[in-house]
Structure 1
Amino acid sequence: MPWINKKLCTGCQTCIDTCPTDAILLIKEVAVIQEDECIRCGTCHDICSKDAVRHDGERIPDEVQTSLAWAKKLLNHDYYSDDIKKQKQLLERLQRFFTKEKKVAEKTIEQLKILQHEEYTD
């Protein structure tokens, strides 16, 4: 999913004008991509002369930190904060949760490859 680097966006609206689904809005002089409307065509990324439209892979470190912050917030909740056993159980549940998310992503990628091979092979 493309995203806009707010520091680089000049509000020129070039990406807005070229988006085939009108998925980009200008809010406070900065382009914002509406995830539900975006079809991931890459047009906005290709047209932006300021390199403000970025690839989602660049967000991985931030997303990891967000997940860790969420885990730490849970660990500090009154229910867990004074009980090492409960904290360990929570960490195990969170690991299972993220393992499941990884499996969903892997299975989805497998199915997309099958779809590509079956439907979109020359």
Structure 2
Amino acid sequence: MFRKLLALMLLVSLNACYVPDTLKGFDSETWKADRFGCESKRKNLVQDFDKIRKELYGKKEFIVRNVLGKPDHEELLERSTRIYYYYFEPGAQCDDRSKMSEANRAEVRINSLGKVSEVTYKRPL
């Protein structure tokens, strides 16, 4: 019993850090460090983000969080569908992080199965 529990914990911990090879070229650390896009570091990563955007389709939610970090805003829709918002540039969200801004952002839709079904932009740069 103990071995099974240990093996399960090991498997879960390995999956928690998993990032597919196709997404490893993306500068995740710089992206995650620029919460709400207020330091304009994400603005320099827009082209890199666009390259991995299509690779995100069908990926599990935990992979999105491993690559892009905690979303700047999250919207819960019907049937457990969610939208994660990640800002590319500074805007009103830098003054009041509790409110949505009209600043350019990526919108990552997570379906009820916990997989990415759509990745769009508010206003492409």
TM range (shorter): under 0.3
Q: Which has the higher strand share?
A: 2
Whichever structure has more helix as a proportion of its residues is 1
Name the TM-score, length of structure 1 as normaliser: 0.24
TM-score (norm 2): 0.24
